[in-house]
Amino acid sequence: MYKIFIDGQEGTTGLQIKERLEAREDIELIEIPGDKRKDIEVKREIINHSDLVILCLPDAAARESVSLAENETPRFIDASTAHRTHEDWVYGLPEMEPDHRRKIAEARFVANPGCYPTGFILAVRPLIRLGIMPKDYPATVHALSGYSGGGKKLIAAHGSRPLEEVDRIASRPYGFSLKHKHIPEMQKYAGLTHAPVFSPQVGHFYNGMLVNIPLFPHLLNRKSTPDQIRDALIRYYENEPFVRVMEGPDEDHLEGPFLSPLGCNATNRVEIFVFGHEDQILLTSRLDNLGKGASGAAVQNLNIMMGAGEDTGLIA
């Protein structure tokens, strides 16, 4: 039986991971007493007697926890941004390429992807690998996330706002420095030579996400229609249980003129839509920022590292 320690289980992601794991009979969840959470020696003891540690901490605290390992036994899944582009850590997005699951299964250190990058990479990386999209494409990303992605402070701020104020702030853009912490992993794992321009927004809903990537067919290596892009993505992900490339008329996926960011909530699924016409294409990824964008992805990586069924405890 695997001994699992969630370091930071009181946070939003940690609580979601615990919820997905606590009923399982193939693991033992090790918990640190509430009054000992900041006791480094207690944490050191727990880490070194765990088979796998899931880090749900700020970046500096995640690095500190890794440094407490004194033997080769504990393996790590880090949900922070601390190690996502680190050369000694395997990026925990199994669907990136056919051999990537083996790399995760054999790794001691796995960096859980960010929520926005998950939607971006899964939409863009196949097009670059297939030679459809040039590596130097001037990519832009416009994304909308539920406020749970901002952690406890943002959750508290939204939860306390009166209804009439909520109506005025249904969606708020941010990241105007164009230096969002997710950009390095977006560029690296999509395979781009230049960083994308990333414009995120937070909406007044708890969880859910849309990631939009506009494409100009005349800038691609070969001019492609939306149907051709869709067909290429369908073939690329045909054996992936957690990635669905959506077929059928666009209007079948819309609520009137709108696409809901909530459609994948409570699942570990990413849906990829291809909208547009011969002159302009829009790729849209929809996912649960707390599911495939965080805790669900951590459990998926845990399952792979344990050799358990990849979908154990997860909903596709």
Active site residues: 115
Asked if residue 203 lies in contact with residue 171, where contact means CB atoms within 8 angstroms, the answer is: yes
Number of H helices, E strands in the chain: 10, 13
Asked if residue 101 lies in contact with residue 267, where contact means CB atoms within 8 angstroms, the answer is: no
Distance from C-alpha of 259 to C-alpha of 268, rounded to nearest angstrom: 19
Radius of gyration of the chain, Cα coordinates, nearest whole angstrom: 20
Distance from C-alpha of 303 to C-alpha of 124, rounded to nearest angstrom: 26
The H or E element containing residue 117 is helix 115-129
Q: Which residues pair with 195 in a beta bridge?
A: none
The H or E element containing residue 173 is strand 171-173
Asked if residue 68 lies in contact with residue 47, where contact means CB atoms within 8 angstroms, the answer is: yes
Asked if residue 95 lies in contact with residue 242, where contact means CB atoms within 8 angstroms, the answer is: yes
Question: Would you give the end-to-end CA distance of the chain in angstroms?
Answer: 25
Distance from C-alpha of 161 to C-alpha of 123, rounded to nearest angstrom: 35
Q: Which residues pair with 144 in a beta bridge?
A: 201, 210
Asked if residue 229 lies in contact with residue 128, where contact means CB atoms within 8 angstroms, the answer is: no
